Chains A and B, each alone.
Chain A
Amino acid sequence: MADDPYKTLGIARDATEAQIRKAYLKLAKTTHPDLNPGDAKAEERFKAVNAANDLLSDAEQRGRYDRGEIDGSGQVRPPPGPPPGQRSYRTHAEGAAGTRYSAGGMDDNDLGDILSGLFGARGRAGAPRGGADRRYSLAVTFLDAIRGATQRLVLPDGGSLDVRIPPGLEDGQVLRLRGKGAPGDPAGDALIEVAVGPHPVFRREGRDIHLDLPVSVSEAVLGGRVQVPTVDGPVSMAVPAGSETGTRLRLRGRGVPAAGGQPAGDGYATLRIVLGPPDPALADFLRDRADAPAWDPRAGLEGVA
């Protein structure tokens, strides 16, 4: 280490003590061996910088060097680094014990993000680099959910997604649109939770559609064909003579349409007998009628409470 200590520190021969100190700190920070593991040049440089500083920061030594009495290796202090017999931090950190101070909490079995991609291997730390999924909710009308439709979803960021609603969609179902979530490789998915609204007439039970069907007294007593609304348009249905309120009539295949391997559901009309506007002739007939059969509509209610 017989180099010129002024050159080592990169300072002029008439540098002040403060300049020497400043130059030393700057170089020592960038060449410290524990901050430059595996770089033998940095380690040599660190030693030289320290030796140069030791010499030049000592006024007497510096004077002797300037007068040519000693060469650049005239150091008096012990060399920098750990005490004899002790290993530097670097040797510990490079070994198995170094995992204690791992920045990412990795243990020795983690492959990290780069190595986990080696040969297509998937390490434990190999989190997918793809975009995140994004969640949205979408309100769908009862009939659109039954029949299927395409609905535009306006996103919070102003964009929009065209969501294809499959026939027979149920309330609370989640639709996944691949690649429509956050960007990435691959892009994330959009997860759309569907809220299906109620309908004033139809009720859904599984794949069947129910409705209450009002019928007049004469339709109930005499029977006849009536028009019944279904989810795919009105159909004609025969009401048997003598039908009671609560009679349930089936409309085969008029429920949720067949989709996704599931057969179509059925429609069910539950009859509700309604009197309609006042009918004086009917009132007269019932009042004047002499031979009405005697029966008690409340016979089943006796002793209930």
Chain B
Amino acid sequence: MITIDMLVVTVAGLDRADVEHWIAQDLVRPAGQGGAWLFGDIDVARLRLIQELRHELRLEEDALPVVLRLMDQLYDARRQLRRLRDAVDQGATPEVRDGVLRVLLER
């Protein structure tokens, strides 16, 4: 976990005001309270991504919430799929596993 002071020196080209704006927009959700934010690894990675979307890929600021929200839904769906896969992996009897595989491969 790093503070916003550490953050802006760690991530090259990251603007403090931009970060605060994205937090206010709920696009980035660090731990802690206003002024004393603590950024975890995922927050830093997300900020790098936002920076890339904005500056490298020239995404408009207005489009950012839409893209991130769709992306978040995609990752939600992927985590759910992983859970299902793990549950079938661990919980299913061999017959159920074979049955599920057979149906999946038939399609």
Measuring CB to CB, which residues of chain A are less than 8 angstroms from any residue of chain B?
25, 28-29, 32, 34-35, 37-38, 80, 82, 86-89, 91-94, 97-104, 106, 108, 111-112, 114-115, 118
| Residues of B within 8 A of A (CB-CB), count | 31
Task: Indicate if the CB atoms of B80 and A114 lie closer than 8 Å.
Answer: yes
Contacts of B21 in A (CB 8 A): none
B56 at the interface (CB under 8 A from A): yes
Measuring CB to CB, which residues of chain B are less than 8 angstroms from any residue of chain A?
29, 40-46, 48-49, 52-53, 56-59, 67-69, 71-76, 78-80, 82-84
In Å, the complex CA distance between A99 and B44 comes to 15
Contacts of A28 in B (CB 8 A): 56-57
In Å, the complex CA distance between A80 and B73 comes to 24
Task: Indicate if the CB atoms of A104 and B73 lie closer than 8 Å.
Answer: yes
Task: Indicate if the CB atoms of B42 and A89 lie closer than 8 Å.
Answer: yes
Main DSSP-derived SS at the B contact region: helix
Main DSSP-derived SS at the A contact region: helix
Task: Indicate if the CB atoms of B58 and A89 lie closer than 8 Å.
Answer: no
Task: Indicate if the CB atoms of B79 and A98 lie closer than 8 Å.
Answer: yes
Task: Indicate if the CB atoms of A89 and B73 lie closer than 8 Å.
Answer: no
Closest A residue to B48 by CB, please name it: A82
Task: Indicate if the CB atoms of A87 and B82 lie closer than 8 Å.
Answer: no
Contacts of B41 in A (CB 8 A): 87, 92, 97
User: Smallest CB–CB gap between B100 and chain A, Å?
Assistant: 11
Task: Indicate if the CB atoms of B82 and A94 lie closer than 8 Å.
Answer: yes
